[in-house]
Amino acid sequence: AQTVTQSQPEMSVQEAETVTLSCTYDTSESDYYLFWYKQPPSRQMILVIRQEAYKQQNATENRFSVNFQKAAKSFSLKISDSQLGDAAMYFCAYRRYNNNDMRFGAGTRLTVKP
Amino acid sequence: DVKVTQSSRYLVKRTGEKVFLECVQDMDHENMFWYRQDPGLGLRLIYFSYDVKMKEKGDIPEGYSVSREKKERFSLILESASTNQTSMYLCASSRTGTAGNTEAFFGQGTRLTVV
């Protein structure tokens, strides 16, 4: 099975600063999708951003952007202008192009300091 | 908005009991999933279903079974609950296919404690 690795169990950032969360994955596929999910203390998991592997351009959603390095199998999430509401667990996930199940990393707990 | 609803937020069951966790989605998604979430381990896939009555094992199916008799409902069954099944259980659904918008939508989770 494909594996997804998040090497940072915990991160912290000062409010209004920028933070980068790391994710690497292992796959022999050339086409796939990558996702970052956020799980706040309320527990509801929500999608932050997605990246299609066949797209060279890095995805961006407002203050959230990714650095997708396909050859290195790396998919980091950058949060700019961090807000208190960004505090949550963040999970990186992988899905094969022609398969519907998803694999998740162990998660990174982000703390935002006022 | 897609809604995935899990029947309970908290459950406490005794060792050896048969436990049913229910999940319903309202967006006509083909795929449904059951994950288990433990600290430091992330989300691990137990089972998923890509159609009614169809199921596939995930990474940790031992001790669990599933049922999908209707498209909108996916049940996780612990045949004989054990203390090592104490965990957070997350249900999710997604559209099938290869389009980019096939991310998973999650329920609010069920925290199960087996005593």
At B6-58, the pLDDT tens digits run 999 999 999 999 999 999 999 899 999 999 999 888 899 999 999 999 999 99
Helix (H, G, I), strand (E, B) or coil at A63: coil
A105 vs B: CB within 8 A: yes
Q: Give the pLDDT of residue B100.
A: 58
**Shortest CA distance from B30: residue in chain A:** A100
Q: How far separated are the first and last CA of chain B, in Å rounded?
A: 37
Mean pLDDT computed over A30-47: 91
Q: What pLDDT is attached to residue B40? A: 85
Contacts of B35 in chain A (CB under 8 A): 104
pLDDT(A2) > 70? no
pLDDT at position A109 over 90 = yes
Q: Does the beta-carbon distance from A104 to B43 stay under 8 Å?
A: yes
Contact assignment for B43 to A91 by CB distance below 8 Å: yes
- Residue B2 predicted with pLDDT over 70: no
Which two structure tokens, joined as six digits, stand for B55?
């199921």
Using a CB-CB distance cutoff of 8 angstroms, which residues of chain A are in contact with residue B60?
A: none
Angle, CA of A55, A58 and A60, to the nearest 5°: 125
Determine how many CB atoms are found less than 10 A away from the CB of residue A34. 25
In chain A, the N- to C-terminal Cα span, in Å, equals 40
Q: Is A1 exposed, middle or buried (0-12, 13-18, 19+ CB in 10 A)?
A: exposed
- Position A97 pLDDT exceeds 80: no
* Strand A10-14, strand A108-113: pairing: parallel
Chain B environment of A104 (Cβ under 8 Å): 35, 42-44
- Amino acid B4: pLDDT: 95
Give the residue-averaged pLDDT of A81-93. Answer: 96
Contact yes or no for B106 and A45 at CB 8 A = yes
- SS3 at position A26: strand
Of A1, A100, A105, the CB nearest to B42: A105
B58-109: pLDDT as tens digits: 999 999 999 999 999 999 999 999 999 999 999 999 887 666 567 889 999 9
Report the distance separating Cα A111 and Cα B83, nearest Å.
31
Handedness of CA B49, B55, B56, B61 (dihedral sign): positive
pLDDT at A38 over 90: yes
Chain A residues with beta carbon closer than 8 angstroms to that of B94: 100, 102
Average pLDDT over residues A29-47: 90
